[in-house]
Amino acid sequence: MIPVNVDYVVGTGGIGSGILFKLSDEHTMGRNETRLAELTDCKDYCKLHIILNYIAAFTNGSIPVYAIGGVGDDATGRELLGLMRRRGIDTSYIDVDAHSRTMYAVCFQYPNGEGGNITAQNSASERVSQKHVKRFFDEVKPSKHGIVLSAPEVPVEARLYLLRKGRELGCYNVASLLSSEVEQFACHRAFSIIDLLAVNQDEAQAIATLTPKAGGESDADSCYRYLRLYNPAICVVVTCGSVGAYTYYGGQKWFCPAIENTVLNTAGAGDCFLGTIISALTKRVPLTQYTQDSDVSSAIQLAALSSAMKVACNDTIDFSIDTQSLFAFAKCKGVTFSDDVLQRFFKL
């Protein structure tokens, strides 16, 4: 059930940094291929940091935002902790590991803006376990009015434990996952305890392979049909890059087109999308409500707007994005808002 009141957000997932290579050719990297590429000065960050950054930016201290994770006892880890604290993220439950390095990633981007990354598995994030999650719940003793976020780049076991604790309390459980983790989530019946699942096209396709496709169905349609078998109340958001996003909830399907903007780096746009959705839900903005006019009136539409702004930034986090800059960006794009969104999200 979509929350009415939210007292806090807590999430676990990867915390780290990396570098970005820009490829000069569109053809997909081959298994045995060596290719020259431009090493950029773009800054890369990992999933939990990206998502929580936007939640903290948009909520602006109105509710606590907690991170559960791990960094190494190194310069990179200290820098990331500083960035998170300055944004307003509570880092009390991020473990500083003296025996492992902070997570590191090598990202690559094709000329059309698409791309991927290779992320170090042997990092402090990989050592995050149930005990880190348990310490948060034991010490904070949070209420049931929370949003629990399970993001990739820490072990699945820790993320599932967080979701189970969230379900025990009666929190709103949000999750994302990697394509390679789909079968593991299915085996643990994790989809039954997720209220909102955010995936991209590749991840939706991986879920869709778990069920025979019906005639005329897209991968996103098949993905939702499969998930509803185990969780009829689940909401699924499928981001489709420059096309837009599909939202499935209560047996219905909505399409939200992408907003055009200059594309410098699409990496992190999906995490920005999810962070904005969560932020909007904390402010009681409807998830999928659409008016008959062109006004932005839902969390999904706000997410489309912020992710469009993000892709014009070279880094995977656009630290300039907050309610004020997003409102200014919308004005430049000729985007208008419903009175409800103006009051609840922008406080105008």
* 121-170 per-position pLDDT tens digit: 899 999 999 999 999 999 999 999 999 999 999 999 999 999 999 999 99
Give the pLDDT band (50/70/90) at residue 290. Answer: low
Q: What is the DSSP string of 187-222?
A: HTTGGGG-SEEEEEHHHHHHHHTTSPPPTT--HHHH
Greater confidence (115 vs 247) lies with 247
CA distance 176 to 196: 9
Q: What confidence score (pLDDT) does residue 292 get?
A: 58
How is the chain split into domains, by residue range? 8-12+48-67+121-344
Instruction: Domain 8-12+48-67+121-344: state its class.
Output: alpha beta
Average pLDDT, the chain: 94
Count each helix (H run) and each strand (E run) in the chain, helices first: 11, 14
Kindly list the distances between the CA atom of residue 92 and the CA atoms of 50, 100, 136, 200, 301, in Å, as whole numbers in the listed order.
Answer: 18, 19, 9, 31, 33
Yes or no: say if 326 and 275 are a contact pair by the CB < 8 Å rule: no
Yes or no: say if 41 and 265 are a contact pair by the CB < 8 Å rule: no
Which of 233, 164, 163, 248 minimizes the C-alpha distance to 199? 248
Which H helix or E strand runs over 148?
A: strand 146-150
CA distance 182 to 36: 33
Give the pLDDT band (50/70/90) at residue 291. Answer: low
Greater confidence (221 vs 120) lies with 221
